[in-house]
Chains A and B, each alone.
Chain A
Amino acid sequence: MKTISIDQLPRVEGNGGVIATIDGNVVSEVKFLVNEGPRLIERLTVGKTPEEDVSIAPRICAICSVSHKNAALRAMENTLGVKVQPKVTLLRELTHMGEFVESHSLHVYYLALPDYVGFPNAIAMASKFPFEVKIALEMKQFGNAIMHTLSGRYIHGENLVIGGFGLYPTREDLVWIKNRAIQFMPFVFRTVELFCSLDYPAIPEADTVYACCEPGDGQYGLWGDEIIISTGEKIARDDYKSLTNEFLVAHSYCKRSRYKGNPYSVGALARVNILGGRLRGEAGKMYKKYFNTRWKQNPLFHNAAQALEILYCFEKLPELVDAILAIPENPPLVAPENKNGKGTGIVEAPRGLLIHHYEVKDGLVSAVDIITPTAQNAQDIERYCTIAAQKLLDSGQEDKIRDRLDLIVRAFDPCISCSVHMAEVKRAPRHHWKKKLAALQAAGPIFVGVGRKDRSDDRVGLELAEGMKELGIKDVYLESEIEEDHILEGLAGRPLLFIDAINMGDRPGKIVVLPLQQLFWNAVLSHRLLPSLTNRLTCEQIKYAYILGIQPESTAEGRLLSGPVRKSLEIILKEIKSPAVPRIEKRAVS
């Protein structure tokens, strides 16, 4: 077994990594790790006042601090029945765009571009691209200047408060923002041309589901009161849990999300894929020029989508300033109407959909739920990494896996303090399956033998199950016995272990233990999966489902197992009878 590991992924914001394990010809496991410790922010503000909450909650993440602030304000104002004046909303949108300009230009030029032009970092890249490095820095600075002007600081500014603004910006400040935005336009066009025509590798292309805020009125935008999904469905903001369905994994302090059992993506690419047709002006023209079906399948196009959004923001900034200047009076703070209530606020952070939900009782916060974009992307990041690693492995490019995984994770622009450094590739040690099987056995699994009796090695799952029954192992079933769903009911939390022949293109008799979803995500492998696993499982069951797979020699008609598969069967039975003591895993060295 071999592991590709990026223990500390550089050039992302925060601390995380990816570990891919290769067992024979199969990528048997991919873990997106969040090394950040738990901060329990959702518990920190319970019992505090709403004002304290909107001060503390954005401390989740410095990079999206304005997005968190706006999400917190929108949620809290919905909770407390505060309706702010249009000028306040426009000024908040202007602040939000400042963050988009800052975050997107930092990501595309400083974090992503060095990979595509072969430099370790942006400072080194300056030797070959002095102009880009310099002007991109100015663009980022401009985004920061907008945030500084409106919120009071570069990071965690406190000027945006419940009910309005502490201090309104001056006319001079706003006019400066407008003029400066117009000055940047030539470089903004260059940015779009550059990132939309970069040569993005085709691996890892695969379909996924996208989600973002529905801005309403047929507009492109950075917030709304509904969630729109690439399948066409819409979800009201208060029903956000039907999108996110959060769950935990043991290898990360970042909670995960799944929509209808499948991972989904949020971020610039999701917005452009869902709302791109609504872009007008120059951004609309550029969308028509560059957008194609590859954008819908390839997460590396996040970079292109971010460039397009930079253009969208620069076109929108002067319009916003004009709209703000058209309202001369500065509205006073709106006081809260309610001391009790609950409410949700959703915005698009630069890296995707961000949800804040609060409940307030007698003027104090009683419940908090915050769902960050990286937490929603984590599962899809693992899926795309699995697909890419397997495709590269199949095409004999194992040496490229590590760098490609790096590229993929970074394209999602993960904001790791929110959740989650980056890739490591490992080869599984010999007999790796024994350790995994022993661990599963310790958790009291249910075994299900799967296969066809008249297809030689495809019998192995059934024969093994029979053999286990004879040994007196508990909770062993044959495929035919679980056709009645009731056997699987009420077993949530216990691992479900399928036993089947899997064609991995490996030597006959090769044994692996994999999470079942690894098979679902692995297009190549699932085609080789003998047609026996059904769709009977619920999401909850799939989470704890594994497969004990054996490489068949033949699945031609016949009633006998081949020699190597027979031998593997005997080894497995022996192992199940007396499981190996799980050993402590050695720490991976990057």
Chain B
Amino acid sequence: MANDKLKIGIYELTGCAGDALLIVDCEEELINIFTAADIEVFLMAKSDNRHGELDVALIEGSVSTEAEREELLDIRRRAGVVVAIGGCACVGGPQAAFLDKKDWEKNLRKVYGNIEFSHSRPLQSKPIDAYIKVDYYLPGCPIGKDQFLSTFARMVNGTPPELFRFPVCVECKWHENDCLLNKDILCLGPLTLAGCGSVCPDHNVPCFGCWGPTEEANQISVFHLLREKGFDTEVIKNRMANYSGTRITEFFEQFRKEKR
């Protein structure tokens, strides 16, 4: 009988390995994941990995070394569909918050001195779409179980995944929470992509923005709202930048223009 299962590879670049771990953490569904598709590559979970043609490559982590960039280009050549999983692959992650190359180089030297690395040249951390075409983005820091399983199930059944495009505030309202901004707490809910289930506001903790920016957000207007509430410009900008990676660049540019 011909094998018509999808061949899937799960790859990890530089990051916290949280997205791969989250997949391992799908304990009850793990055996189903391994039987519904041929998991060809999953370094965290298995040793018999076959780096051949793939139908789908799920890639976590940011590109942070020359070797990773080469590996990524190679995966793209072998894979039909590429899905960026997690904040680091989608937007670059916290490590991509050094937007200025000079700033990054200065900090690299601060941590590692002037050592010449023998194994692979470091690169300023970038999301994977800085180098390759990405078909779908599954955000999160780390990705959420529900969103991952629904995306996975859709893919193995040949349907494109459907992800949230609205901000955390929508989920927060579903959960009938009191708005933290109304209590003058610096919450990034309005700017942040939903999918986490508004977990932080549900716990009286403000949103830190870890799902990354939502394109629907009116960043300028939220920025002014937070300024009116008395928060410091630098503090607001820092907080917006923490998990937005390279995606915040556009906003900062727009912001600069408006200021002028």
- The reply on B64 being an interface residue by CB < 8 A is yes
In Å, the complex CA distance between A15 and B14 comes to 8
Q: Give the residues in chain A near B127, CB-CB below 8 Å.
A: none
Pick the residue among B17, B117, B120 that contacts A14 (CB under 8 A): B17
Q: Out of A10, A61, A62, A416, which one reaches B47, CB within 8 Å?
A: A10
CB-CB under 8 A from A15, the residues of chain B are: 12-14, 43
Size bracket, chain A contacts:
35 or more
Closest CB pairs A-B (n = 5): A37-B64, A62-B18, A10-B47, A121-B46, A37-B14
Enumerate A145-187 residues with CB–CB distance to B below 8 Å.
152-159, 161, 166-167
Q: Is the CB of A40 within 8 A of B205?
A: no
Chain B residues with CB under 8 Å of A166's CB are 200, 203-205
A106 interface contact, C-beta 8 A: yes
A250 to B118, Cβ gap below 8 A? yes
Q: Is the CB of A155 within 8 A of B238?
A: no
Contact of A156 among B24, B28, B141 (CB under 8 A): B141
Given A8-B43, A37-B123, A155-B22, answer yes or no on A59-B13 (Cβ-Cβ < 8 Å): no
Determine whether A471 belongs to the interface, using a CB cutoff of 8 Å to chain B: no
Q: Which residues 1-48 in A have Cβ within 8 Å of B in the complex?
A: 8-15, 33, 35-44, 47-48
Q: Are B67 and A35 in contact (CB under 8 A)?
A: yes
Contact with A140, one of B27, B45, B63, B145 (Cβ below 8 angstroms): B27
State which of A39, A43, A122, A248 has its C-beta within 8 Å of the C-beta of B110. Answer: A43
Q: B151 at the A/B interface (Cβ < 8 Å)?
A: no
Contact A417 B111 (CB under 8 A): no
* Docked-complex contact B142 and A156, CB < 8 angstroms: yes
A35/B65 in contact, CB under 8 A: yes
Q: What does the 1/0 interface line of A351-377 toward B look like (CB < 8 Å)?
A: 000000000000000000000000000
B238 closest partner in A (C-beta): A48
Count of inter-chain pairs, beta carbons less than 8 A: 190
Interface locus among A49-57, A257-265, A340-348: A49-57
Q: Are B25 and A13 in contact (CB under 8 A)?
A: no
B164 touches A (CB below 8 Å): no
Further contacts, 15 of them, CB under 8 A, given A10-B46, A65-B18: A13-B21, A15-B43, A35-B119, A37-B62, A39-B14, A40-B108, A41-B95, A63-B21, A126-B31, A152-B205, A155-B18, A155-B25, A156-B210, A158-B200, A248-B115
Determine whether the beta carbon of B112 is less than 8 Å from that of A417: no
A195 in contact (CB, < 8 A) = no
B: which residues have CB within 8 A of A? 12-22, 24-25, 27-28, 30-31, 34, 43-49, 62-65, 67-68, 93-95, 97-98, 104, 107-108, 110-113, 115-120, 122-123, 125, 141-142, 145, 196, 199-200, 202-205, 208, 210, 234-235, 238-239, 242
Interchain residue pairs with CB less than 8 A apart (21): A11-B47, A14-B12, A35-B68, A37-B120, A39-B94, A40-B108, A47-B234, A49-B235, A52-B238, A59-B93, A59-B141, A62-B19, A106-B24, A121-B48, A155-B22, A158-B203, A158-B205, A166-B203, A167-B205, A250-B118, A417-B15
Given A35-B67, A121-B47, A250-B116, A63:B27 Cβ within 8 A: no
A524 within 8 A of B: no
Interfacial residues, chain A to chain B (CB-CB below 8 A)? 8-15, 33, 35-44, 47-49, 52, 55-56, 59-63, 65, 106, 110, 114, 120-123, 126, 137-138, 140-141, 144, 152-159, 161, 166-167, 248, 250-253, 416-417, 421
The distance in angstroms between the C-alpha atoms of A41 and B28, with both chains bound, is: 33
* Distance of A409 from chain B, by nearest CB (Å): 13
**Known A-B contacts A15-B43, A62-B21; A55 and B14 likewise in contact (beta carbons under 8 Å):** no
Task: Please give, as numbers and ranges, the residues of chain B lying within 8 Å of A114 by CB-CB distance.
Answer: 47
Assembled-state Cα–Cα distance A122/B234 (Å): 49
A13 to B104, CA, bound (A): 26
Contact A159 B203 (CB under 8 A): yes
Interface centre among A55, A62, A110, A126, by most chain B C-beta atoms within 10 angstroms, is A62
User: In the bound complex, how far is the Cα of B111 from the Cα of A467, in angstroms?
Assistant: 43
Most buried by B among A9, A15, A140: A15
Most buried by A among B12, B16, B239: B16
Instruction: Identify the closest chain A residue to B35 (Cβ).
Output: A123
Instruction: Give the residues in chain B near A10, CB-CB below 8 Å.
Output: 43-44, 46-47, 49
The answer to whether B117 touches A421 (Cβ under 8 A) is no
**How far apart sit A59 and B94, CA to CA, in the bound complex (Å)?**
8
Q: Nearest chain B CB to A283's CB is how many angstroms away? A: 25
Instruction: Give the residues in chain A near B118, CB-CB below 8 Å.
Output: 250-251
Distance from B176 Cβ to chain A, minimum over Cβ atoms (Å): 15
In whole angstroms, what is the CA distance A55 to B47 when docked? Answer: 33
The answer for the CA separation of A14 and B97 in the assembled complex, in Å, is 21
Assess the B94–A41 pair: CB atoms within 8 A.
yes
Name the one of A56, A123, A156 contacting B34, with C-beta atoms under 8 angstroms. Answer: A123
Query: How far apart are the CA atoms of A66 and B194 in the complex, in Å?
Result: 23
Q: Which residues of A contact B21 (CB under 8 A)?
A: 13, 62-63, 155
Contacts of B208 in A (CB 8 A): 52, 55, 158
How far, in whole Å, are A52 and B44 apart by their CA atoms in the complex? 29
Contacts of A11 in B (CB 8 A): 43-47
Verify B112–A56 contact, CB threshold 8 A: no
Cβ contact within 8 Å between A44 and B94: yes
- Distance from A135 Cβ to chain B, minimum over Cβ atoms (Å): 11
Residue of A nearest to B49 (CB): A10
Chain B residues within 8 Å of A55, by CB: 208, 210, 242
Interfacial chain B residues near A167, Cβ < 8 Å: 202-205
Nearest B residue to A154 via CB reads B25
Q: Assess whether B242 is in contact with A52, with CB atoms less than 8 Å apart.
A: yes
> Which of B13, B44, B115 neighbours the largest number of chain A CB atoms within 10 Å of its CB?
B44
Q: Are B112 and A253 closer than 8 Å at their CB atoms?
A: yes
**How many whole Å from A48's CB to the nearest CB in chain B?**
5
- Closest A residue, CB atoms, query B204: A166
How distant is the Cα of A159 from the Cα of B205 in the complex, in angstroms? 7
Give the distance in Å from the alpha carbon of A210 to the alpha carbon of B202 in the complex.
42
CA distance A40 to B34 in the complex (A): 35
The residue that A12 contacts in the complex, of B44, B48, B119, B145, with Cβ under 8 A, is B44
